[in-house]
Structure 1
Amino acid sequence: MTQLQALCRGALARKNYQRRIQQLNAIRVIQRNGRALLKIRNWKWWRLFTKIKPLLQVTRQDEELKQKQEEMNRLKTEMGSRVIQAQDMEEKLQLVQQERSVLNDRLAHLNEVLGECEENSRRMQKRNDELESILQEMEQRLQEAVDQLNKSNKDQREYDQRLRDTTKRLEDEEQNRQKLQLERTQSEGKIKNLENLVATLQNELSKGQKEQIVLYDKFQDTVVDRQKEEEKL
């Protein structure tokens, strides 16, 4: 993903550099033409040429150059729009990746808590088994010694209370475990949706880059055609 972002930024930087170079070349051409016009605008032959210009074939060529200039401007505008769209998709992709990272951290934390709950549940179950064993032993002793009946009943009540407390804790732990299991399932679903969204955005970004390349090739062809027309003049 980092390599893809670096490639996108590199492509955008190269296109911005090419656009600046083309703008500088266009400015130089305009300045050169302006200086040339200032030099010849007072010539009698130039005035005569401007009067008969509509009758010359050059008029048609100027019109074609104008059309190509308009087409080039349109392609430049469209290319700028595509660049903005690509930047917007890249920002969305970064936001989605950040959210996915947060959810992954949350899921890891939930898994850790769930593991602790399961371990506590196993310990409680083991303790419960131990208490049940003790209770059975006390019941046997109760049958064996009537003179210890009161003491045995007291012990039995105490162990019963501990058993109820343990059972209650087990029930609470089970509820917490089920809740954490539900949260983990929901988080996994969110992560899956985010991964699908990332794949969609990457696909759209790839399409946008391909369209930019096509537009840039058209723009280059237009510039070449214009230069050829200027050389003919």
Structure 2
Amino acid sequence: GRHSVRISGVSTIDFRAGFSRKPTLDFKVTSSRPVQGIATYILLNTTGLSHPARADRLELVSITGGVIKILPVRYYPNTGKGSPLTGTIWNITEFVPPKEAFFLRVTGYDKDGFLFQRVSSVSFSSIVPDAPKVVMPPTTPGYYLQRGTISCQVDSLLPFTLRFTREGKSLGVDQLFRESAIALWELAQVTLKDEGFYECIAISSAGTGRARTFLDVSGRTIP
């Protein structure tokens, strides 16, 4: 008759991964999920590997088992050889996360040259970014004949273009930002004609966000 054979074993080899929009060696600044549509770096920490064991490649695997993407694994410089207990940091070539959920599979060779594979216990799904969130105070104080500043805070997971406007007309040139930022519109010398509403507009591939503030000029001389 037909028989099945099950082979099991025990190994200390394991890994964890963190996602970041910038190269980093610090897991504290990584996220458990990547952001859809932008270049992403993976910080990979392997444990249970003794020199000369190494990780060779990282695969993104679909939930049906198909390979979505293969990424080479490079030993991160300036981190030493690590140890089986503390782990070793590896650098993964940047990639753009897929829209579908995926598992991570690490393939490498142990200290005796035998091939090993480890698959993440959970699948990863990308964060779908929203339009930029723009915040300005309802009122901004301005002081007559003094320097003035209009502040605009933008929270965005995607790169965005920022524009200041007044009465529908653009002020200065558009500014480009790769991530969340605080932008300023400077007034060299505030006068009565500067009083009024100012708008801040942030545009990304996910949409447009806007906010406005009223510049309230005080300290002016009344004839």
Q: Which has the higher contact order (CA 8 A, sep 6+)?
A: 1
Mark yes or no: TM-score above 0.5.
no
**Higher normalized helix content (fraction of residues):** 1
**Higher normalized strand content (fraction of residues):** 2
TM-score (norm 1): 0.17
Task: Find the structure with the greater CA-based Rg.
Answer: 1
TM-score (norm 2): 0.18
